[in-house]
Amino acid sequence: MKKIYLLCFAILTASSLSVVSSNDAIKKKTLELYPQADVDGNGVLSDAEEAALSRRALKRFPQADKDGDGILSNAEKQTLLRMAANQKKQNPVDPKPASAEVSKTPSFSNVKYGEHERHVFDIWLADSSKPTPLAIYIHGGGFKSGSKERLKPSDLSQLLEAGISVAAINYRYVAIAPLPAAHHDARQALQFIRAKATEWNINKDRVAAFGGSAGAQICMWLAFTDEMANPESTNPIERESTRLTCVATTGGQTTNDLDFYRNKLSRLLGDEQKIESLTRSRGKESDPEKVRIAMWGAETLEEANENASQCSALSIISADDPPIFMSYGMSPTAKPPSDPKKVRGWIIHHVNFGIALKEKTDELNVEAHLKYPGAAPRYESLADFFQAKLLEEPRTP
């Protein structure tokens, strides 16, 4: 997304909608030019969508509010429209990518939220006079590798531009502490950041999480686990809520159930290869059952399976849980990669995980969006989804 696109989108769309809200022709043209404005995908710009765009225009160009009343008058909006039109005419293309517009330097780096060396996070605070929503990035890597530096500059840029603060956390690898230690680390980081909400101008009631693969698993565990705050704790951080407003995942494993792997994924490999063959060794141990027991900090396979189930979205999701946006890189009918080295990654990030959770959310009436090649989801990206869920004013029942 180019800089001029962002400017024109924020100014022209928001201002046009406010200035000529009764003009259907203008609204129709705006939607043709900027379909992202229609965040709920119903083909009509609602009052909430219109108001959100107007707020973003004011946030980016406060000088347009010449009388300082916090509202754009018709004359002020017309001025912004002329500015946007002239700027677009003079600068039709901006070669600088959007990611370059946002400083990569965090507001605070390597903030410690616990005692271990991997108990650290970076945070970028969006520029706002009002408390901002927060999106927490949780990296992937099979619980064995990865770091907070995997946060994509494009995601960071889009979220900050929208007025959403961003944090990226590290957590302990499974070689340091067996699962679910990584999940508990993420919970601790979430509560720590919430405890700093006043100092960092964060709206603790609007917090999201996003991540891929192992990070996606942790995100879903946070989103779908009942409140884990301890109101009786003498530690104020532990009294902070663990609940999320929404969650977005990429290539996420929605279950750790072995039967799911055998019934839903193994058949994709054909008759010549068993799903257990994809298990990676843990140290010198290569037996799949023993690797699973060690990974989940258990003494028996039954205990390991129970621990894994308590961290599986399909097992723990309930009707009162927040919305989720899931993204996968293959369609349901895609064939396995011809390169044997890529088969494991393809299987463990398969869209069947998302399809299974979507079926469960539909049963529970939990809002869920599933994106994969060939699908037509309401939201095109996690940034679009987060803007809709974290920035929109709640609808009145």
Angle made by CA atoms 124, 142, 302, in degrees to the nearest 5: 125
Q: What is the DSSP letter of 12?
A: I
Q: Are 112 and 193 within 8 A, CB to CB?
A: no
Element (H, E) at 312: none
pLDDT in tens, the chain (397 residues): 444 444 444 444 444 444 344 456 555 555 454 454 444 444 454 554 465 556 556 555 666 667 666 676 777 767 766 665 555 454 443 433 433 444 579 999 999 999 999 999 999 999 999 999 999 999 999 999 999 999 999 999 999 999 999 999 999 999 999 999 999 999 999 999 999 999 999 999 999 999 999 999 999 999 999 999 999 999 999 999 999 999 999 999 999 999 999 888 888 887 666 666 677 777 778 899 999 999 999 999 999 999 999 999 999 999 999 999 999 999 999 999 989 889 999 999 999 999 999 999 999 999 999 999 999 999 999 999 999 999 986 544 4
Domain extents in the chain: 3-96, 99-397
Among 376, 334, 377, 381, which residue's Cα sits nearest to residue 152? Answer: 381
Q: For the residues of 246-298, what is the DSSP string, one character each? A: EEEEES------HHHIIIIIGGGG-TT--GGGGPPPBTTB--HHHHHHHHTT-
Q: How far apart are CA 217 and CA 187, in angstroms?
A: 13
DSSP label at residue 36: G
pTM, entire model:
0.74
**Cα(162)–Cα(183) distance, rounded to whole angstroms?**
28
Contact in structure between 249 and 322 (CB atoms under 8 Å): no
The rounded distance, in Å, linking the Cα atoms of 374 and 273 is 28
Architecture of 99-397 per CATH?
Answer: 3-Layer(aba) Sandwich (3.40)
* Residue ranges of E strands in the chain: 108-112, 120-124, 132-138, 165-169, 202-212, 246-250, 324-327, 368-371
